Amino acid sequence: MTSAPSGATDRISVVVPSFNQGRWLDETLASLFDQRDPALEVIVVDGGSTDETTDVLARWRPRLAVCISERDEGQAHAIAKGFALATGSIHAWLNSDDAHLPWTLATVRRAFAGDPSLECLHGDRIEIDADSRVLGWRRIPGHSAYFLNRWPWTHQETCFWRRSLYDRCGGIDTSLRFAMDYDLFARFFARGRCRHLPTFLGAFRWHDRSKSFTQQQTIGNDEIRVVRARYGCTPRWFERPIGRAYSAAIRLGRWRAGPRDRGAEGRPVAVGDPIGALWRGEDPATAR
């Protein structure tokens, strides 16, 4: 019997850092488990939430490989703690207000199985609001370490990598509070064989408590400058028009149609639709 190619049956470890986002945590965890992946390890590292997170985790605890709820030193520390406990050969993290899509894990498995030399992949994102309704799409026009190390356009919730790359690059920098993903991916893209998949792999949620909403213009921009200086990828004056053109290409992607739902007709999901429409034709309750 021929053995399955590397990646087809590998354990995928997904770390979910959490703090006072119980409103969305149930949807985040459901988006993982409802894919019915055969070898999924979910690790929740909660920073001692005081909202409904405790009740949500109690419902999901039997299916979680690890569930920690204690004070920590921030998001990056929680993520690093989770990966230290992970046993999978493929890693990702999913913030507790974001979500994966019905096909995410299967797509990732196929990509890694089909290319054993591939070390990291990332895809496109759907943007949703606080009530889980679609705001639009964000597509990246292909993988380029040059562009993505200078402008932080990588969609974190769509990124998966081999544990060997994570270990080789030194893991999460726990001193960062905002740009820990940008910092990690800059090392991945410089040292690993990486690829962009032109398909939607995650949903990113905009809301008034998210770091992207509250910290982008303060801590966020400061840490982006730190990361750029650290890896020598601060855009020079003559590169700025290139960055604007790349950003314009991403904005143009918003005008293309979004993914189709899983119903018999396969209708394109439109702006304003609930993200749950993508699961149409499935019965998530049977997977819990």
Tokens read off for 2:
């021929």
Per-residue pLDDT tens over the stretch 78-97 = 999 999 999 999 999 999 99
- Best CA proximity match to 124, nearest among 30, 69, 203, 34: 203
Average pLDDT over residues 132-144: 91
The pLDDT-based confidence of 132 (bands split at 50, 70, 90) is very high
pLDDT at residue number 8: 65
How much of the chain is in helix, strand and coil states, percent to nearest 5? 40, 20, 40
Average pLDDT over residues 207-215: 56
Indicate if the pLDDT at residue 288 is higher than 80. no
Per-residue pLDDT tens over the stretch 191-201 = 999 999 999 99
Average pLDDT over residues 250-257: 73
195, 121 Cβ separation under 8 angstroms = yes
Portion of the chain with pLDDT greater than 90, in percent: 68
The pLDDT-based confidence of 217 (bands split at 50, 70, 90) is very low
Average pLDDT over residues 208-227: 69
Of residues 8 and 199, more confidently modeled:
199
Question: Which CATH topology does 12-255 take?
Answer: Spore Coat Polysaccharide Biosynthesis Protein SpsA; Chain A (3.90.550)
The C-alpha atoms of residue 276 and residue 117 are separated, in whole angstroms, by 34
The C-alpha atoms of residue 8 and residue 11 are separated, in whole angstroms, by 9
Site of tokens 């949903």: 203
Indicate if the pLDDT at residue 215 is higher than 90. no
Please state the domain extents for the chain.
12-255
The pLDDT-based confidence of 264 (bands split at 50, 70, 90) is low
Indicate if the pLDDT at residue 34 is higher than 80. yes
pLDDT at residue number 243: 82
The pLDDT-based confidence of 263 (bands split at 50, 70, 90) is low
Indicate if the pLDDT at residue 238 is higher than 80. yes
- Distances in Å between the Cα of 142 and the Cα atoms of 53, 197, 203, 241 are 37, 8, 19, 18
Indicate if the pLDDT at residue 1 is higher than 50. no
Element (H, E) at 201: strand 194-205
**pTM exceeds 0.75 for this model:** yes
123, 158 Cβ separation under 8 angstroms = yes
Element (H, E) at 257: none
Indicate if the pLDDT at residue 268 is higher than 90. no
